[in-house]
Structure 1
Amino acid sequence: MRIISDYQFVEDTDRGATAAIGNFDGVHLGHRSVIELARNAAPEVPLGIVTFDPHPRAYFAPHSAPFQLMSSAARASRLEKLGVEKLYQLPFNTALASLSPFEFADKILHRGLGLRHVVVGADFCFGKGRAGTSADLTEYGQQLGFGVTTAPLMAQYEQTVSSTAIRRALSEGRPRDAAAMLGHWHRIEGPVIGGEQRGRELGYPTANMSIDGLHPPAFGVYAVLADVLEGPHAGSYHGVASMGVRPMFGENKPNLETFIFDFKGDLYGTAISIALVEHLRPEENFDSLEALITQMDADSARARSILAAL
């Protein structure tokens, strides 16, 4: 997959694609239906995605609480798995935010990227002040010479499949409901970082990951699937993970700590991907280390049972 990050310098070989436009945070089933429409709209040309980094919401409200379901790198990886050939990942900055709807269609989509056909969701808004609608884009496409398809909203479980609904499910400790809307397990991906090595002392060495910038799922303990993405230990494993601030030890920066079952090896700096399968219990403060270890034993046994049934 080719990643293009500057619409003003696009090689001829990267022009002429059909592309779905949006933020694609989570790459959920609604996003995938839009991507399939783009694929089918012009199957003879490359399939592309037009998206933005940072997310426009982060640009307009830089101090808002973390809300993204995945990093831009994880999004790119997921899109590549879906067969996307051209990822137009445009910097969302003052210049882009100030474009009128028509300027966005003309300067970015038509003259800049040279798109042949675009697909957007029914709720798509674009241009300065989010003034442009999918109907406006259809009109501009007719003027400028590119096709436009509007995808209907996708409903499931009597609610719109959206990143907002997925965030809500994760916040409420319902990762299976989130997975039903995503079409895949919700995953947290990134490098293993150094920790206090407290888990090793308790008999539960963990692979620690930052969740900075990501929407935090409900704190607590999860049954998880762990994929080591590189290195000599690359492969898929089962495990149990703790999401939260570790109140028993007075630490308050949220992170994810995963104990991988039946694993021995050094993962520091290694890229891993942790899929949240089931929320076992909330985060707790225990009276003693012995009580904590007893609970960790019970959590591990329950997680093994849940994951064995997948």
Structure 2
Amino acid sequence: MRITHGIHPMATRPSAVAIGNFDGVHLGHQAMLQQLVATARARQLTPCAITFEPHPREFFTPEQAPARLSNLRDKLDGLRELGIEHVHICRFNDILAHMPATQFIEQILVRGLGMQHLLIGDDFRFGAKRAGDFALLQEYSKTHGYDLNAMTSITVNDLRVSSTAVRDALAKGQLALAQQLLGRPYRISGRVAHGDKLGRELGFPTANLPIKHTKLPLTGIFVVEVHGLAAQALPAVASLGVRPTVKTAAQPLLEIHLLNFDDNLYGRIIHVDFLVKLRDEEKYPDLATLTRQIQRDVECAHDYFNHLPVA
């Protein structure tokens, strides 16, 4: 998959384009991108997705911006798996925020990406002051010769699939609902980093994934599966949060204790799928109390995996 950046993309051949933040790459995004890829292949175009980094709301109102569902690695992995061959990442800065919608169409879409087909969500707005919409794109299609479609919303049990709905389910610990909306378990990926080794001292060594953004879509203790270390997923229990018993005002961290597995994981890229929430993160009076609770969490995780139905 080709990845480009900036406001002056250079396409190698004509493109079919979808635009969005694609946060979480949920079922709605998947339906949209599958339709785009099918059209691109039928017309011998490059299936291309445009996304923004950071999220526009992180630029305009960072304190009110929603928690990210996916880091850039997971988003790109999701787009690649759906058959997207080119991802153009628009850095959302002051220049892009003030770019007129007409300039976005002409400079980025038409001249930059050689767009011949465009697929957008039914609520998509773009350009300075969000002035660009379907009607403007349709008007300019007559001049620039591209065709245009809008994707209708996807629903699951009468609930509109959206990144907001996924965030709400995760925040409430409703991982089964989040999985329905995503079409897969909620996942966080990253490269295992060195930590303070406290887990090993307590008898529960962990693989640590630092979290770049301080706003989390979910926190607590979870039963998880880890991919990327063996041919099959490995069972584990994980803590996602700020570790209030041992830290003050700490950066969020994902700590994973693998069950029945002990190896040097530093530097390895792993993918952590969240299956069940066990409890909220808590502050304990001392490390002995914390250790006893971790032992109970590990036992709960073992019970979960021991009682899974045999395929």
User: What TM-score, normalized to structure 2?
Assistant: 0.90
Aligned pairs for 1:1-310 (under 5 A) are: 1-11=1-11, 13=12, 15-43=13-41, 44-64=44-64, 67-213=67-213, 215-228=215-228, 236-253=233-250, 254-308=252-306, 309=308
Partners of 1:66 and 1:212 within 8 A in 2: no
Tell me whether 218-227 or 119-128 shows the greater mean CA deviation.
218-227
Residues in 2 aligned to 1:72 and 1:218: alpha-carbon distance in whole angstroms: 18
For residue 233 of structure 2, give the secondary structure of its aligned residue in structure 1. Answer: strand
Residues in 2 aligned to 1:19 and 1:288: alpha-carbon distance in whole angstroms: 55
Going from structure 1 to structure 2, the CA distance change for 1:215 and 1:166 (only over 3 Å counts) comes to farther
Residues in 1 aligned to 2:71 and 2:272: alpha-carbon distance in whole angstroms: 13
Tell me whether 102-111 or 37-46 shows the greater mean CA deviation.
37-46
Residues in 1 aligned to 2:17 and 2:91: alpha-carbon distance in whole angstroms: 17
Going from structure 1 to structure 2, the CA distance change for 1:39 and 1:228 (only over 3 Å counts) comes to closer
Deviations 1:93-124 (A, max 9, x none): 22222222222112211112111101000000
Tell me whether 248-257 or 181-190 shows the greater mean CA deviation.
248-257
Query: CA-atom RMSD, angstroms?
Result: 2.1
Q: Percent identity?
A: 37
Tell me whether 294-303 or 268-277 shows the greater mean CA deviation.
294-303
Tell me whether 239-248 or 300-309 shows the greater mean CA deviation.
300-309
Cα drift, residue 36 of structure 1: 1.7
Going from structure 1 to structure 2, the CA distance change for 1:3 and 1:222 (only over 3 Å counts) comes to same
Residues in 2 aligned to 1:36 and 1:124: alpha-carbon distance in whole angstroms: 18
Amino acid at match of 1:245: V
Partners of 1:71 and 1:214 within 8 A in 2: no
Partners of 1:153 and 1:160 within 8 A in 2: yes
Tell me whether 165-174 or 137-146 shows the greater mean CA deviation.
137-146
Residues in 1 aligned to 2:156 and 2:66: alpha-carbon distance in whole angstroms: 25
Cα drift, residue 235 of structure 1: 5.9
Partners of 1:66 and 1:213 within 8 A in 2: no
Greater than 6 Å deviation, 4+ residue runs: none
Cα drift, residue 215 of structure 1: 4.2
Partners of 2:9 and 2:108 within 8 A in 1: no
Residues in 2 aligned to 1:181 and 1:37: alpha-carbon distance in whole angstroms: 18
Residues in 2 aligned to 1:6 and 1:129: alpha-carbon distance in whole angstroms: 20
Cα drift, residue 125 of structure 1: 0.4
Cα drift, residue 135 of structure 1: 2.8
Gaps of 5+ in 2: none
Q: How many residues align?
A: 305
Residues in 2 aligned to 1:92 and 1:65: alpha-carbon distance in whole angstroms: 14
Amino acid at match of 1:141: S
Amino acid at match of 2:264: D
Partners of 1:66 and 1:214 within 8 A in 2: no
Going from structure 1 to structure 2, the CA distance change for 1:61 and 1:287 (only over 3 Å counts) comes to closer
Amino acid at match of 2:27: L
Residues in 1 aligned to 2:142 and 2:179: alpha-carbon distance in whole angstroms: 38
Amino acid at match of 2:255: E
Residues in 1 aligned to 2:120 and 2:98: alpha-carbon distance in whole angstroms: 20
Cα drift, residue 143 of structure 1: 2.4
Partners of 2:70 and 2:188 within 8 A in 1: yes
For residue 136 of structure 1, give the secondary structure of its aligned residue in structure 2. Answer: helix
Residues in 2 aligned to 1:215 and 1:137: alpha-carbon distance in whole angstroms: 34
